[in-house]
Structure 1
């Protein structure tokens, strides 16, 4: 929490402000354990003989500054035992310490003293109750240094003991040891701090206090008490291992070498199509010559807008063999987004089967079949090219905060580096069968396609509708004997449900998670049927700008039971560090921005020099390029990384990276909308399927359905808000920012007008105002209401009610458990109302 905590005459308001500033009861940086005994523990740190002697206020200032740096805030609250001159004793007070980076330590100390002079907030039972209700618990500081020579209050009480039991979960005491030496003591709950963090807190407090007394002119922003004692250890944890050696070359050249060595091995499967490595290589060579014949040069970018198929793999490889860069686009994207990508990437050639692709007059739009017409009957290898390993292989567009997506340029060598970093650890080889489950416009596909082909494996291309049916997909895994499976956690959860419903175990030996955060507890049923000795589960953190993956954490049953958030150590050749807003490395446990360096850092953003300069930087300590991720995380003492969310408005939904500001910009382009906000909500915090985007608008009129309909023409399906709620005005904080806590519950979609053509037998009996219908329609009505958690009518559109691909899978699972007829995913998308589905079933 941040914000000002200035004194006020209103005691209740003062208390509320202090509560808002207080650290969480279990601060993230404390690395406290979730389970086990909660008996207080103690750590002590002797102070050197020359350490300055001060009153409790200076120690409180120093402690507040350290805590503010840990929390990444400007103001924090500390509970301190302070002299009470009026009563002639001492009292516990909750006081704010302002650690604004622009102030000096001396200024922070003076401000605290001024606050105390105005009357601090005593730690009354009422204030303690407010802290507990807010989930906050300030650290306490007690000065028990009773050296008469120090001439401090209470010096005559030689046997003074400040407490019998520590008054706070973390209590720091300045006291005298039995031998008369001064020391810092930390009494702490192991649920709040680990022993190592408690010891580090004392070291950091000691250095901050010394700096305050000896150099009060030091800016708060320059106070880094961990600089010296942690620098060497932090550097050691940044990189887990060097990148294994490999021959730098282009992706297509490496695959050609595999094709030459194993020409008859199957490379790609899609439905009934089977392509060997030799066939794949020869077909891609011919299409590469065709591209050259059409004028595609080595520095060109070629758009590829194809559904998942064997033809997609051939086409992508052909673009690389021509020396060009492929720019993948999803055929399901709206025309506006396809047109923008085509223009921004400067495409002159687009390969697509999509009818009416918005290419414009200067863009050559060809289908793969039309490209084939320009290919020679025979060719001896690919056309000559000057393109090298350091040149771009692909440009993938990701959501952008300015309202338009941005292209990430990734060289060939980055992809080969990724495989060099993972192939041995994951034991990837020609005996593996992989799946291509994701769109080529999603960077997970880079790992699936090239990861498989660069290690000589067999790639099974998953048809779109199979990918939307957990039962069909699970059946495909068994039929094709898939061994390497890459999934988002949200999609994988449905495979787990299929096996829980009795399906035979899939023959997978390696599961790789990416795209979104993983709650490992969801894996416990999987481990019941897939022992760790037979199937390895790896959770990977990654970013498009750092070539798909950055870290890897093998998830065990123990990790799942503990609910670990670890995403593991950096891959060999990659590095991670956690930095403060000024870019300075933070110690273990302290949250900050994740910065990624090493072999995976992309080249730049296409046509965005200012954004490139802002996000792609040089690490001053090592001199290597690094990427500012915008993700929040912390390093654990053993060097593993925990991912803690975003620092900005970017979110992850079902594996897709989404900038909320891009959606907001599209909404504001609607002439009827004068203000807009978009939030990611989750009805059930433990259920990713209930996550949805909700939009709020201030608009002329109340036709929110048309606002949503217009937005769907500019945004991909996964970015279209599930709901649009009209407001009279946006709720704001005192600082003029959107107050998301005061946003109302999202408005449900208005009931749809009935479809008059549907037969009466297709109408659920329980729908208001409708005649009795058949049992299947009534079952659908019950299941939809159960899955969506809202009232459902026979003509309501499943997706307008907040439905999504994950909830659609859940509808199928619920119908399957009831033992009656089910609904194919394709049918639900094509007939998204109960009346339509029931009519189709009856017909």
Structure 2
């Protein structure tokens, strides 16, 4: 069922029409309250507003039309907020551009947007001017500071309305595709804020940490939540960002020193902070709310962070999309979480924010039934106008997100990864105790062949054994969804938005087909594509036990194979039967010791898999002892005949029934949480 948007008690329709008017209400309410903290710099609401008013007048003097697009290419300091608010006050729409972004991305955004002007610094002028159309103004806040300062700081008359464009936010982009600009109107940002205000319980006393680059929807969400609620926005600088080693010590110091109360961050930041807190035995000071978004965050991680921080910190797993101003759904870990099977496989995203409706879509785009899996769709007052230079969004239809999900039995939504991802294999792999993070994708080699490959990072200070992981996966996944190759990596590559970057994964090392694919002495490979190791092990064990059975038959059952009184060709036929019985016994023993992965590949439940494995073994090994016992039993020895029938024939019937049940059972049930 779709998650319909709840009705807010303080709807946007009865309040300010534009998002910057929400902020201006707090300028009038508490002008001396701190609005922005960046390093040693502090700006009050009055100071920030006066700066924005002056820059807004400068933009109007430059001829900015209503709805005109202005690139803001400054970074993450206080000036970027001044510029964004100034563009809104002047009646335009801002396009955030991060100076540290790859040059190709910068050129794409600046050329794609059809800008009226750009706000930047002198050091970036050349880069910006090369892309902005000739004759368009480029305002450098450092070299033109005096000209801007001469403008009046008095409030401007309102030019924009609720349905006017407020900003163009670019998506993080999928592999092989450039980001797309999303057109967001003032009413969309106001609606998103109303949802955040209700769910996050925002107040003027809050101090919000801002860690997201300015180009992403998370940055706009941070300043809207902070400044529209009268709180303070604490900006993390480059020194506080997580480095490649995941050092969260500087960020932790900033959170504690600045008395941060609301922390909205991506998954890598949350994981890095948690590792730091555990290693140091520290806490997060005054933090009362942590909202994690940007990628799959799993239930076991929420529960572990709750154990570290205690019940006084609210934990939210947020699913948001740029097309909805970063809004979407949220799951809050309850004070007394219910017991869930395999919490390491579950990424709950809960219910929709006010202003949003989220559903799992079936065929034709209609909401699917509970329990069904499908693509997540979103609609509501938070969803933007459409894509820049692309299609408009239809208010009455769900916008497809490219993410998969399902509605759980409790009515909450669960995130199942991107549509083209292998989230089921990743979820199973996360359950191995030696695996920290993982990613499963199809990798194409130099010959053009694609192989399902798992990339894994070890838990802190640990090691991972690829051979062991292949066996672990093979016993829990159907063969078509089991990775054939496991690659150990120090860390998984991520995009600037903090999402896993499948396009930046290293190619697996080529393996010599003559070498054992297991990568370890005495281990078995289940990759199937290189084929011979598993079947070779079964064949080796089968040969050994077939030979032993032939040698031991006369010792265990004297004269049971005596054919001295049987004429040919019947004696030869019976000899062949005895050899087949020994071969079947050997094959059964080989299957007993090495054949479980072949059965487990079919994805049945663990209990049924074990039963079927043993049933196949018994169907193979029973003939050798059974026939030898029968041949030594007298026809009128009814007690012995009955014992043999029940010990062998009846159990063989049961084994055959188990195999039938195994074949008839639906696969994949063990992968569902």
Q: TM-score range by the shorter chain?
A: 0.5 to 0.7
Counterpart of 2:418?
Answer: 646
- 1:723 aligns to 2:487 (yes or no): no
In 2, distance between residues paired with 1:452 and 1:366?
Answer: 27
Structure 2 equivalent of residue 408 of structure 1: 182
- Closer, same or farther: CA 586–278 of 1 in aligned 2, 3 Å: same
Deviations 1:92-117 (CA, angstroms, capped at 9, x unpaired): xxxxxxxxxxxxxxxxxxxxxxxxxx
The answer to whether the Cα contact below 8 Å between 2:299 and 2:348 also exists between their aligned partners in 1 is: no
Q: What is the DSSP-based 3-state SS (H/G/I as helix, E as strand, rest coil) of the residue aligned with 2:42? A: strand
Q: Does 1:571 align with 2:353?
A: yes
Aligned partner of residue 417 in structure 2, secondary structure: strand
User: In the TM superposition, what is the alpha-carbon distance from 1:573 to its structure 2 partner?
Assistant: 2.6
The aligned runs of 1:482-497 (5 Å cut-off) are 482-497=260-275
Structure with higher helix content? 2
Instruction: State how many pairs are aligned.
Output: 448
The answer to whether residue 230 in structure 2 is matched with residue 456 in structure 1 is yes
Q: Distance in 2 between matches of 1:337 and 1:674?
A: 31
**Could you tell me which residue of structure 2 aligns to residue 23 of structure 1?**
none
Q: In structure 1, what is the equivalent of residue 207 of structure 2?
A: 433
Q: Distance in 1 between matches of 2:500 and 2:147?
A: 35
User: Which residue does 1:626 correspond to in 2?
Assistant: 398
Corresponding position: 1:476 with 2:254: yes
Cα pair 1:500 1:525 within 8 Å, conserved: no
* Residue of 19, 27, 35 corresponding to 1:259: 27
For 1:35-434, what aligned pairs fall within 5 Å after superposition?
A: 234=1, 238-239=3-4, 241-244=6-9, 245-246=11-12, 247-353=15-121, 354-355=123-124, 356-360=126-130, 362=134, 363-379=136-152, 381-398=154-171, 399=173, 403-434=177-208
On the 8 A contact 1:285/1:318 being kept in 2, the answer is: yes
Distance 2:36 2:320 in 1: 26
Q: 8 Å contact 2:74–2:120 — kept in the other structure?
A: yes
Other-structure match for 1:517:
296
CA contact (8 A) 2:75 2:213 kept: yes
Write the distance in 2 (CA, Å) between the matches of 1:239 and 1:429.
Answer: 26
Contact 2:4–2:358, Cα closer than 8 Å, also in 1 = yes
**C-alpha separation between the residues in 2 aligned to 1:627 and 1:602?**
10
Spell out, residue by residue over 1:541-562, the C-alpha distance to the aligned partner (whole angstroms, 9 max, x if none): 1111112121121114654963
Q: What's the RMSD between the two structures over aligned residues?
A: 3.6
Partner of 1:76: none
Q: Distance in 1 between matches of 2:361 and 2:304?
A: 37
Deviation at 1:371, TM superposition (A): 4.3
Deviation at 1:403, TM superposition (A): 3.0
Paired with 1:320 and 1:335, the residues of 2 have a C-alpha distance of 27
Residues 405 and 377 (structure 1 numbering): CA distance in 2 closer, same or farther, change over 3 Å?
Answer: same
Cα distance in 2 for partners of 1:393, 1:743 equals: 54
Tell me the distance in 2 between the aligned counterparts of 1:338 and 1:675: 33
- Distance in structure 2 (CA, Å) of the matches to 1:504 and 1:479: 13
Cα gap change, 1:310/1:560 in structure 2, threshold over 3 Å: closer, same or farther? farther
Q: 1:312 to 1:627 in 2, by over 3 A?
A: same
In 2, Cα distance between the equivalents of 1:674 and 1:591? 34
Rounded to whole Å, the distance in 2 between the matches of 1:419 and 1:460 is: 18
Map of 1:770-781 to 2, 5 A cutoff?
Answer: none
How far 1:743 sits from its partner (Å)? 9.9
Counterpart secondary structure, 2:143: helix
Q: Distance in 1 between matches of 2:300 and 2:420?
A: 27
List per-residue Cα deviations over 1:166-205 (Å, max 9, x = no partner). Answer: xxxxxxxxxxxxxxxxxxxxxxxxxxxxxxxxxxxxxxxx
Change (3 A) 1:284 1:742: farther
**What is the Cα deviation at residue 400 of structure 1?**
5.2
4+ runs of 1 displaced by more than 6 Å?
649-652, 673-680, 716-720, 725-728, 741-744
C-alpha spacing 1:280/1:582, structure 2 compared with 1 (3 Å): same
Distance 1:273 1:462 in 2: 12
Task: Say if 1:726 and 1:684 are closer, same or farther in 2 by CA, change over 3 A.
Answer: closer
- Please say if 1:465 is aligned against 2:233: no
In structure 1, distance between residues paired with 2:255 and 2:334: 22
Question: Residue 316 of structure 2 corresponds to which residue in structure 1?
Answer: 538
Q: Aligned partners of 1:679, 1:349: CA distance in 2, in Å?
A: 47
Contact 2:298–2:348 (CA<8 Å) still a contact in 1? no
Which of 382, 403, 423 aligns to 1:600? It is 382
Sort the Cα spacing of 1:381 and 1:742 in 2 relative to 1 into closer, same or farther, 3 A: farther
Deviations 1:102-143 (A, max 9, x none): xxxxxxxxxxxxxxxxxxxxxxxxxxxxxxxxxxxxxxxxxx
Q: Kindly state the Cα deviation for residue 724 of structure 1 after the two structures are TM-superposed.
A: 5.0
- Tell whether the 8 Å contact from 2:70 to 2:94 is kept in structure 1 after alignment: yes
Structure 1 gaps of 5+ residues are: 1-233, 619-623, 653-657, 665-672, 691-711, 729-740, 745-843
TM-score between both structures, scaled by the size of structure 1 = 0.49
CA distance 1:266–1:718, shift in 2 (3 Å): farther
CA gap of 1:560–1:686, structure 2 versus 1, over 3 A, is farther
What corresponds to 1:442 in structure 2?
216
SS at match of 1:577: strand
Unaligned runs of 5+ in 2: 427-438, 464-494, 512-526, 531-673
CA contact (8 A) 2:37 2:234 kept: yes
How far apart are the structure 2 equivalents of 1:572 and 1:283? 33
Structure 1 or 2, whichever has the larger Rg, is: 2
